[in-house]
Structure 1
Amino acid sequence: MARVHNFNAGPAGLPLPALERAQRELLDFEGTGMSIMEHSHRGKAFEAVHNEAISLLRQLLGLSDDYHVLFMQGGAAMQFAVVPMNLLPPGRSADYILTGGWSEKALEEAKRVGTVRVAGSTAVDKRYTRIPHQGELSLDPNAAYVHMTTNNTLFGTQWHWLPDTGDVPLVADMSSDILWRKMDISRFALVYAGAQKNIGPSGITVVLARKDLVDSARKDIPVIFRYATYAANNSLYNTPPTFAIYLMRNVLAYTLEIGGLEEVERRNRKKGELLYETIDAHPDVFRAPVEKESRSFMNVVFRLASEEMEKRFVAEAAKEGMVGLAGHRSTGGIRVSIYNAVPVASVERLTAFMRDFAKRG
C-alpha cells in the first residue's frame, strides 16, 4: 500500500510507527486475547495504558505536580462552554483575545454562560493576518481569566510570545499546536486541546488544569462538566474513549523515542522554513497573507492568482499523492497543515511540486 502525503487539517495524520504498533496489537493486546477496545476501562490492562499516557504527557511537557492531566470528550468545541461553566462565576467577567474563527466561537459560547468582553482583536474585514502586540490588549485586571487560541488553523497565524496577564489566570486553546515545541506550561492556568491534530485521533480532549483553579471552580454546574469530577476520578468517572487514549499513548511514546519535543521542534521548524522560503521565492505565483512574525508552523496558508488556479493546484497535487491542501471552506485558498506527524520528506515533495508549478504558471 502506498501512503499519501497527508496535509489534512484535522483529523490529521498520525506517526506511522504509532499506527503500526496499533496494528500489531489490535486483535491481541499484550497477550490478553482481546483488543484494548474490548477491555474494561476499569481493568488493569487499560488502566496501565491510561496512566502511561498521563505520565508521558507530564514527561514531555515537563509538567509539575501543580497540574491535573484530564482526559475529556467533546473536543475544543465543548471546552468553549466548559471553561466558562467552571471558571466564570456570577458577577465576574472574562477576557477573550480574538485571533481567528475558533477564538470567535469560544467567545460566543462563553457569552451564553456569563459576562465576557473582547480584550483584543486583529480582525480586519473578517480576516486575521497577524497576532496582536501586548500594547494592543485591553486587559481587565479583575477578570476571572483571559482566553487565547495559540494557533489559528483557518488563517495560519500563531502566537510566538505569550501575553502578560498579571495575576489573571491565562487559559489557552492549544488544539492545533500542543506539543509542537517545548513550552513553559506554568505560564498557563489551564490548557485544553483536541487531540486530532498533534497527539492522537479524534474523540479525546486533553486538559491541563492548575489544581488550585480546579479546587476553586464552580460547583453549581452538572457533575459531568466539572473539572473536579475528572480530577477526582483520574478521568475515569464514566467510560472514556479507550481506543483514542490508547492511540494517543502510542503517539506520545513515539514522540519520546525520537528525542522528545526538542527533535519535534527541529523538524517542525524545518518544514515551516521550507514552505515559507518556497512561497516567498515565487511572489508572482504564491502570496502569503500572514505577517511574517505571526506565521504559523502548523498551518501554512497562501493564495494563488485565482480560484481556478488554486483548484488546479489542489487537483494536480492530489494526482501526485498530496492530499488535504484546499483551504477551509470559509477562507478558500491553500492550506498546508504540517503537524508533528507530517514527515519532512512530505514537505520536501510538496515544495518541489510548488517550484515546478510556479515554472509552468
Structure 2
Amino acid sequence: MNHIYNFSAGPSMLPLEVMNKAKKDFKNWCNLGSSVLEISHRSQEFLSLVKNSKQDLRDLLNIPLNYEILFFQGGARGQFSAIPMNFTTKNDQVDYIYSGYWSMEAAKEAKKYCKTKIINVISEFNKKKSIIPYKKWKINSKSNYIHYCPNETIEGISIYEEPVFKNKILIGDFSSTLLSRKINIKKYSLIYASAQKNIGASGITIVIIKKKIIRSPKNFVPSILSYKNILENDSLFNTPVNFSWYLSSLIFKWIKKVGGIKKIEKINVEKANLLYKTIDKSKFYNNYIHKKNRSNMNVVFQLKNKKLNDIFVKEAKLKNLYALNNHKILGGIRASIYNAMPIQGIKKLIKFMIYFEKKYYKIS
C-alpha cells in the first residue's frame, strides 16, 4: 500500500514510529499479557505511566515547579466551560481576544457564566488579515482574566507574540500550538490543549496551571471540571482515557528522541515555508493572511476558481493526500501540517499543487 499523508486538522496524523510501538504493545503492554486498554488506572504500571508522562512534558516545555500539570477529558470545549466556572461569578468581567472561530466559541461559552467582553484584534490591509500587536489590545482593567487562542486552525492565523499583562491572569487555548514551538510558560497563568493535534489521540486534554490561582470552586462547579479536585486526585478522579494518555506518553518520548521542541519547531517552520513559497509564487492559489501571522500548523489557501476546490480535494486523495478540505464555515483548502507530518508529505503536496495548476489554469 502506498503511504498516505493525512492533512486532517484533527484527529490528525500520528508519527509512524509511535503507531508501530502502540501496535506492538497493544495486546501485551509492559509484559502484562494485557492491553493498556484493559489495565486499571490504579495499577502500578499505569501510575508509573502517569508520573513519567508528566515529567517528560515538564522537561519538553521547561515547566516551572510552581505549575501543575493536569489531565482532563472533555476536549478544549470542556475547558471553555471549566475556566469561567472556576474563576468567576455572574457579575465578574473577563476579556476574550477574538482572532477566529475557536476564540469566539470560547467566548460564547464564557457568556453563560460571567460578563464577557470580546475584543476583536484582527486587522485587514490590502486583503491580508493580520493581528494587532498585543500592546494595542483594549483590555478591561477590571477583568478577572484574559483569554486568547494563539493559533486559529480554521482561518490559518497565528499570534506569535506572547502577551504580557501585569497583575492579570492570562489564559491560552494552545490546542494546536502546544509542543509545536517554544513557549514561555512563565508568561501564562493557565494554558490548555486538547490532544488531537500534536499531543496524541483525541480524548485527553492537558492543562498547565499556576498553583497559586487554583482555588476552591463554587458549589455549582461539577467535580470533573474543578481544577482543585482534579489536582487533589492526581488527574485520576474518574477513570481516565487510558489509551489516549498512553499514546500521548509515547508522543512525548518521540519528541524528545527527535531533538525536542527546538528541533520540532525548526522542522515545522521549514515545512510551512515550503508550502507558503509555492502559494506565493502562484497566481492560481491565494493565502489571505499577512506573513507575520501565517500559521505554521494550518496552511489555508483558496483556489482562484472556487468551483475547482472539490476537484482539488478529490484528485489529491487519488494521490494519497488526504483531508485537504477546510472547515465548512470557511471553505477552500487547508493543509494541517502538525508535528507528525514529514517533510516528504509536504513535498508530495507541492508536487501535486504544481501539477493541478498546470492542468486547470486555463479555466481559473
Q: TM-score range by the shorter chain?
A: over 0.9
In the alignment, which residue of structure 1 is the partner of 2:276?
A: 276
Alignment of 1:181-220 (within 5 A): 181-215=181-215, 218=218
C-alpha distance 64-217 of structure 1, shift in aligned 2 (>3 A): farther
Q: Deviations over 1:223-249 (max 9, x none)?
A: 222101111111011100011000000
How far apart are 1:135 and its partner, in Å?
4.6
In the alignment, which residue of structure 1 is the partner of 2:71?
A: 71
* TM-score relative to the length of structure 1: 0.96
* Inter-partner Cα distance in structure 2 for 1:291 and 1:140: 27
Equivalent residue letter for 2:105 = K
Partner secondary structure for residue 91 of structure 1: coil
Q: Deviations over 1:129-180 (max 9, x none)?
A: 3222235411122211000011001100001102232211100001111111
Question: Does the aligned pair in 1 maintain the 2:89–2:113 contact within 8 Å?
Answer: no
C-alpha distance 27-280 of structure 1, shift in aligned 2 (>3 A): same
Question: Does the aligned pair in 2 maintain the 1:128–1:155 contact within 8 Å?
Answer: no
Partner secondary structure for residue 131 of structure 2: coil
Question: Does the aligned pair in 2 maintain the 1:100–1:128 contact within 8 Å?
Answer: no
* Inter-partner Cα distance in structure 1 for 2:219 and 2:143: 19
In structure 1, stretches of 5+ residues that fail to align are none
Question: Does the aligned pair in 2 maintain the 1:8–1:336 contact within 8 Å?
Answer: yes
* Inter-partner Cα distance in structure 2 for 1:325 and 1:291: 21
* Inter-partner Cα distance in structure 1 for 2:155 and 2:295: 9
In the alignment, which residue of structure 1 is the partner of 2:311?
A: 312
Equivalent residue letter for 2:257 = E
In the alignment, which residue of structure 2 is the partner of 1:137?
A: 137
Question: Does the aligned pair in 1 maintain the 2:134–2:161 contact within 8 Å?
Answer: no
1:88 paired to 2:88:
yes
* TM-score relative to the length of structure 2: 0.95
Partner secondary structure for residue 214 of structure 2: helix
C-alpha distance 139-217 of structure 1, shift in aligned 2 (>3 A): farther
Partner secondary structure for residue 68 of structure 2: strand
How far apart are 1:90 and its partner, in Å?
4.5
How far apart are 1:91 and its partner, in Å?
3.5
How far apart are 1:218 and its partner, in Å?
4.6
How far apart are 1:197 and its partner, in Å?
0.6
C-alpha distance 202-123 of structure 1, shift in aligned 2 (>3 A): farther
Partner secondary structure for residue 234 of structure 2: coil
Partner secondary structure for residue 208 of structure 2: strand
Q: Taking every aligned residue pair, what percent have the same amino acid on both sides?
A: 35
How far apart are 1:215 and its partner, in Å?
3.2
Alignment of 1:25-36 (within 5 A): 25-36=25-36
* Inter-partner Cα distance in structure 2 for 1:3 and 1:231: 42
Q: CA RMSD in A?
A: 1.6
Alignment of 1:144-163 (within 5 A): 144-163=144-163
In structure 2, stretches of 5+ residues that fail to align are none
- Aligned length in residues: 358
Q: Deviations over 1:21-51 (max 9, x none)?
A: 1100100112111011111000101111121
Question: Does the aligned pair in 2 maintain the 1:180–1:265 contact within 8 Å?
Answer: yes
In the alignment, which residue of structure 2 is the partner of 1:261?
A: 261
Equivalent residue letter for 1:141 = S
Partner secondary structure for residue 30 of structure 1: helix
Equivalent residue letter for 1:349 = K
